[in-house]
């Protein structure tokens, strides 16, 4: 019981900023206790209400652990039933917390697996003992020593989780108190939103922005501890502190970021207002060797990617971003500093928690995803998506509103068209976009008779390139194909 509580507590501390499942249960009990009862209890125990409640829960759990242990004498399955029932209560409490996300049940699951594994490990010698009474005392000694090793491990695990969690809590606090001079948050530019309900918002709120990273426990870096070392094929190596960085001239822009792993019609794409320092300015400061053609960017967690120097130094405002939608970068999105390069997929450019820029040559390096079969170059491919109606939706026959988003960062979208049942391409109305680096909303009205229909969308970029209908997988350099959905038009 102790080891399971320890691993679940450690997981909660290390991975999320949530309280442990035990605290979630305590909060649930507080919420469902009728007011007058709670009042009377609180009057009775005063300030100690919460510690007493948690103590009560832990004592209850220890009793349940003893029950599971007794059941383990005669059955392998019955103790598991006890563990699963307890975990179900914990998971329910966690999911009923405001703003709960699916990952929040992870600590409960870790605790459950620990309970099952540790109980079976420590009772195994005792089960042998039942069959061979002559070795009783030896097996008991084994049981006691195994159990104490686990008990010690529990203390260690809980302590380690607490230390990791404390680091994260400090960074959460530093981020909250951080004031970034010059960072603004303008409203979304006029006419970017077409007003058709169901299209993803033109500006993606930070909490809804897709997340992709290889780190299991995301790096937590205090701005005062952050540095960026710029070295390699440069005239003058430079190491910037956070204060050095933000003291420089700020640049801000709306930029749409997307993942190379986004399937046709997928949602690994978002659009935000980013504030940061131009990479081109910094590279000019260090002076580039003419034989260099890329920057190998490395993050604090060791992930890396190689980015073409051309995209970092041309007019596109590649930046070392410090803020997203007017707020310091969220920790999961790379706090305190990440790279944003319009027009390139994230896997070759958007390094979160970035700490190192090595100016080098593509021929001399292989980055994380390039070693795993993905293309060295990752320019964004033109893409479009239908958001309304949803695929498989029932709609009313007649005039039906269709809409979605299209993007071709750093080229821009010139047109979007929709075809019904393989018929002619019908032009859609486009929302505004402040630059060629953001996506655009599109919408149109189509006529649908009763029955099943197929809708597909394609975009054309500002260079005149028409999105191809050839279906390609996301590996090695991004999916292609027209997003196609089926809807059922009914009489009412």
Ligand X SMILES: Nc1nc2c(c(=O)[nH]1)N[C@H]1C(S)=C(S)[C@@H](COP(=O)(O)O)O[C@H]1N2
Interface positions with ligand X (CB under 6 A): 209-215, 257, 259, 299, 301, 303, 333, 346-347, 350-353
Q: Tell me: does residue 270 bind Mo ion (CB under 5 A).
A: no
CB of 338 to Mo ion, least distance (A): 13
DSSP, residue by residue, 400-454: EEEEEEEE-TTT-EEEEEEEETT-PEEEPEE---SSTTS-EEEEEEEEE-SEEEE
Q: Is 267 helix (H, G, I), strand (E, B) or coil?
A: coil
C-alpha–C-alpha distance, residues 25 and 39, integer Å:
19
Binding segment for Mo ion among 167-175, 204-212, 388-396, 443-451 (CB under 5 A)? 204-212
29, 41, 96, 212: residue in contact with Mo ion (rule CB under 5 A): 212
* Residue 338 backbone phi and psi in degrees, to 5: -140, 165
- Residue 194 or 259 with smaller CB distance to Mo ion: 259
Q: Tell me: does residue 347 bind Mo ion (CB under 5 A).
A: yes
- Residue 261 or 484 with smaller CB distance to ligand X: 261
Q: Tell me: does residue 215 bind Mo ion (CB under 5 A).
A: no
Answer with the entry of Mo ion, ligand X, none that 340 interacts with (C-beta below 5 to 8 A by kind): none
Six token digits for residue 354 = 């970035």
Subset of residues 247 to 266 that bind Mo ion, contact rule: CB under 5 A: 259
Answer with the entry of ligand X, Mo ion, none that 353 interacts with (C-beta below 5 to 8 A by kind): ligand X
Which residue's CB atom is positioned nearest to ligand X?
A: 346
Q: Is 361 helix (H, G, I), strand (E, B) or coil?
A: coil
The answer for residues whose C-beta is within 8 angstroms of residue 133's C-beta and 6 or more apart is none
CA 43 to chain centre: 43
- Residue 3 or 348 with smaller CB distance to Mo ion: 348
Nearest to 246 by CA among 324, 318, 180: 180
CB of 180 to ligand X, least distance (A): 18
Answer with the entry of Mo ion, ligand X, none that 209 interacts with (C-beta below 5 to 8 A by kind): ligand X
- Residue 90 or 346 with smaller CB distance to Mo ion: 346
Annotate 416-439 with b (16+ C-beta within 10 A) or e (fewer). Answer: bbbbbeeeebeebebbebebbbbb
- Residue 29 or 212 with smaller CB distance to ligand X: 212
Nearest to 158 by CA among 327, 380, 1: 1
Residue tagged 């090695």 (tokens):
476
Question: Do the beta carbons of residue 445 and residue 402 sit within 8 Å?
Answer: yes
Answer with the entry of Mo ion, ligand X, none that 301 interacts with (C-beta below 5 to 8 A by kind): ligand X
Binding segment for Mo ion among 162-170, 182-190, 208-216, 313-321 (CB under 5 A)? 208-216
CB of 348 to ligand X, least distance (A): 8
C-alpha–C-alpha distance, residues 409 and 438, integer Å:
6
Cis peptide leading into residue 389 (ω within 30°): yes
C-alpha–C-alpha distance, residues 485 and 448, integer Å:
14
- Residue 54 or 212 with smaller CB distance to Mo ion: 212
- Residue 353 or 357 with smaller CB distance to ligand X: 353
219, 270, 346, 389: residue in contact with Mo ion (rule CB under 5 A): 346
Q: Tell me: does residue 112 bind Mo ion (CB under 5 A).
A: no
- Residue 17 or 76 with smaller CB distance to ligand X: 17
- HSE-up of 428 (CA within 13 Å, CB side)? 34
Question: Do the beta carbons of residue 391 and residue 452 sit within 8 Å?
Answer: no
Answer with the entry of ligand X, Mo ion, none that 352 interacts with (C-beta below 5 to 8 A by kind): ligand X
Q: Rule CB under 5 A: which residues touch Mo ion? A: 212, 259, 346-347
């Amino acid at each position: 019981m102790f080891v399971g509580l320890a691993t679940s507590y450690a997981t909660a501390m290390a991975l999320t900023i949530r309280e442990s499942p035990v605290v979630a249960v305590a909060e649930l009990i507080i919420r469902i206790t009728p007011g007058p009862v709670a009042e009377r209890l609180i009057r009775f125990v005063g300030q100690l209400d919460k510690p007493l409640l948690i103590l009560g829960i832990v004592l209850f759990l220890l009793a349940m652990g003893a029950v599971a242990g007794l059941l383990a004498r005669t059955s392998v399955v019955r103790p598991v039933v006890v563990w699963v029932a307890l975990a179900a209560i914990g998971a329910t409490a966690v999911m009923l917390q405001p703003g709960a996300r699916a990952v929040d049940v992870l600590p409960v699951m870790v605790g459950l697996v620990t309970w099952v594994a540790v109980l079976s490990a420590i009772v195994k010698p005792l089960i042998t003992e039942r069959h061979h009474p002559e070795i009783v005392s030896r097996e008991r000694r084994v049981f006691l020593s195994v159990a104490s090793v686990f008990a010690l491990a529990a203390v260690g695990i809980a302590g380690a989780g607490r230390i990791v969690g404390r680091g994260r809590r400090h960074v959460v606090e530093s981020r909250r108190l951080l004031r970034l001079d010059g960072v603004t948050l303008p409203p979304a530019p006029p006419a970017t939103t077409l007003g058709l309900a169901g299209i993803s918002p033109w500006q993606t709120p930070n909490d809804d922005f897709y997340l992709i990273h290889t780190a299991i426990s995301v790096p937590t870096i205090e701005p005062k501890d952050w540095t960026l070392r710029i070295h390699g094929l440069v005239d003058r190596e430079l190491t910037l502190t956070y204060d050095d960085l933000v003291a420089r001239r700020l640049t801000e822009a709306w930029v749409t970021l997307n993942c190379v792993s986004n399937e046709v019609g997928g949602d690994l794409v978002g659009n935000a207002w980013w504030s940061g320092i131009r990479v081109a300015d910094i590279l000019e400061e260090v002076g580039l060797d003419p034989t260099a053609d890329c920057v190998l960017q490395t993050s604090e967690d060791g992930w890396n990617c190689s980015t073409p120097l051309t995209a970092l130094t041309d007019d596109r405002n590649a930046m070392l971003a410090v803020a997203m939608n007017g707020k310091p970068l969220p920790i999961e999105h790379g706090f305190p500093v990440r790279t944003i390069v319009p027009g390139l997929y994230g896997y070759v450019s958007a390094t979160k928690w970035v700490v190192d820029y090595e100016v080098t040559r593509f021929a001399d390096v292989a980055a994380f995803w390039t070693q795993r079969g993905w293309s060295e170059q990752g320019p964004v491919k033109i893409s479009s998506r239908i958001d309304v109606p949803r695929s498989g939706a029932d709609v009313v026959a007649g005039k039906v509103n269709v809409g979605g988003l299209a993007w071709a960062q750093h080229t821009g979208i010139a047109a979007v068209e929709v075809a019904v049942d393989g018929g002619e391409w019908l032009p859609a109305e486009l929302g505004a976009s402040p630059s060629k680096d953001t996506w655009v909303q599109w919408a149109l009205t189509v006529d649908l008779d009763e029955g099943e229909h197929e809708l597909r969308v394609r975009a054309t970029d500002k260079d005149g390139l028409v999105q191809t209908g050839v279906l390609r997988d996301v590996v090695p350099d991004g999916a292609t194909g027209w997003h196609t959905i089926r809807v059922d038009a009914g009489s009412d």
